Structure 1
Amino acid sequence: MKKWLFAMMALFILALAACSNEEESYETIALNEVEEKMNEGYVVLDVREPNEFAEGHIPSAQNKPLSALQQEDFSELSKEEKYIVICRSGNRSQTASDILTTAGYDVVNVSEGMSSWTGDIE
């Protein structure tokens, strides 16, 4: 009985370990830290679709939709730059940050998005 219980506990622990997310290899910041990162030389990379970007974005932000990144379209991006990745609510930016990090880009993800941005927009 003890061996069976021990085996079940071991399997349970292994299952939990397999389900846990790998540690992110990029930093995630709050929306109020974006301007500080910009002052440190980071470029804002807005991963919303072009129509969303056109409705209002952070001044000087680049637009590279998540849909393009998912197609491995990294044109107009430079591995020499550091990027702040932002979207509307924080979900797409996390996916984009995963893709960009895997491709060798230096990024920080923004946990919130443009729907909460109170700074200047253009």
Structure 2
Amino acid sequence: MQKVWGMLRSLAHVIIIWNRPHPEVVAATDGRRIWIDPSLTAVEQHCFLAHEAIHIQHGHTSCQTPAVERQVRLEVARFLISFEDLQTVAGWSRCPTIMAEELNVTEQVLLDRLVTLDGQQIQTLWPPGEHIA
């Protein structure tokens, strides 16, 4: 989680406002401020703060298209979950809930990270014919 706070420190002009930005949105940014729902879990806050910080790094100041949101989600997943950490957890679990918990991310961030893997990385994580008891 320190990774996210380090990223936010590098964005010194950004103010975090601990208020839900909209009834249907738990986090948002205008490029200078990040609004975040304080009732989110620590892991959710960590993931949403990273998401909004990446928007800011890209110069986004308002709502984005679904394609841009998807790209930001995938970038967040790569930022929050190293392949090495994923490999360690995948060595003993294939349950998305347990893996996400161990990696301190939401299940959605874990699933987004899995989408970024190429065929060789997938085979490294789960060699054909290998089963976890």
State if a TM-score over 0.5 links the two structures.
no
Indicate the TM-score class for this superposition, using the shorter chain for normalisation.
Answer: under 0.3
Structure number, greater radius of gyration: 1
Which structure features the higher share of strand residues?
1
| TM-score, normalised by the number of residues in structure 2 | 0.21
Which structure would you say has the larger RCO, counting Cα contacts within 8 Å and 6 or more residues apart?
1
